[in-house]
Amino acid sequence: MTGTVFDVQRFSIHDGPGIRTTVFLKGCSLRCLWCHNPESQSPRRELMFYKDKCVGCGECARVCEKAFSRPCEARGACVKVCRRGAREITGRDETAESVVSTVLRDRAYYKTSGGGVTLSGGEPLLQPDFAREILELCKAEGLHTAVETAGNVPFAAFEALLPEVDLFLYDIKGIDPETHERNTGARNSLILENAEALMRTGKEVLFRMPYVPGYNDGEAPEVARFVKELGGKLELMAYHRVGAGKYAALGRGYPLSGVTPPSPDEMRSVAGRLGAKYEWSGV
């Protein structure tokens, strides 16, 4: 089976235990203002143009009249002729077997570190058949499997994958439905219902909350309470600006340009008060 992937990152250490390979599937049902993978959101192939690398040679415009207009069909003729690496297409169709052959290259590292494979996105549960096939193949090879999800999908998508998943990394971005809609473009009732249903399956779940000053930081205590009532564990993920440059490459403005990432001291203090872990990436 073929699905749409936009990246495969080897040697990941933030997407589950040990050293992992993270496979990023394209397409998401949310539009979080702080998303650091904006190229993950659309299910379609997209052109990314890095203006700072462009020397204005005009080769791309010779092969495509839409080289500098948006949106385009992302056929990629301009990418082939650009010698400066100023253009790339994000999103490719790939078979589950091909993805897994990449994953298996680092099997030795998984073994020594207790790692494995993680499906992320975007929202991997929007391609449940493809996700399931990758996970089945990985399980058949004895790998530990994790799925990172924002939970905004019908619960049937979870049920289809349950036998193949060792760990879910489940994002909770807030409790108040209106704030959630302002921050992500969707209400959160399905996400919260699915969180409860997933906990009832007995699967291992780590809840993760992106902690974004001025947007959802005030909701951290409520999220911690919700997770505690479910009997789950919570990790706060400090907002960072790593993906900011990708918005410009996609021809979009960065929605959070005025936001300062929280300091490690703030994260340590908030997480300590809430009995949560935290992750701070340093930017």
Kindly tell me which of 116 and 121 has the beta carbon lying closer to ligand SF4.
121
Token reading at 87: 């253009």
> Any contact of residue 1 with ligand SF4 (CB under 6 A)?
no
CB within 8 Å of 103: residues ≥ 6 apart: 8, 21, 23, 117, 134, 138, 143
> Any contact of residue 40 with ligand SF4 (CB under 6 A)?
yes
Q: At what angle do helices 220-230 and 264-274 cross, to 10 degrees?
A: 40
User: According to CB under 6 A, which one of 84, 92, 139, 203 is a site residue for ligand SF4?
Assistant: 84
Q: Are the beta carbons of 9 and 103 closer than 8 angstroms?
A: no
User: According to CB under 6 A, which one of 5, 19, 25, 86 is a site residue for ligand SF4?
Assistant: 86
d(CA 112, CA 44): 37
| Least spacing, CB of residue 272 vs ligand SF4, in Å | 25
Binding segment toward ligand SF4, per CB under 6 A, in 116-124, 158-166, 189-197, 214-222: 116-124
> Any contact of residue 10 with ligand SF4 (CB under 6 A)?
no
Kindly tell me which of 137 and 198 has the beta carbon lying closer to ligand SF4.
198
> Any contact of residue 37 with ligand SF4 (CB under 6 A)?
yes
User: According to CB under 6 A, which one of 4, 22, 41, 127 is a site residue for ligand SF4?
Assistant: 41
d(CA 167, CA 74): 35
| Least spacing, CB of residue 243 vs ligand SF4, in Å | 9
User: According to CB under 6 A, which one of 1, 11, 14, 55 is a site residue for ligand SF4?
Assistant: 55
Kindly tell me which of 86 and 224 has the beta carbon lying closer to ligand SF4.
86
> Any contact of residue 180 with ligand SF4 (CB under 6 A)?
no
d(CA 279, CA 12): 14
> Any contact of residue 60 with ligand SF4 (CB under 6 A)?
yes
Kindly tell me which of 84 and 203 has the beta carbon lying closer to ligand SF4.
84
Kindly tell me which of 31 and 273 has the beta carbon lying closer to ligand SF4.
31
Binding segment toward ligand SF4, per CB under 6 A, in 4-12, 23-31, 107-115, 135-143: 23-31
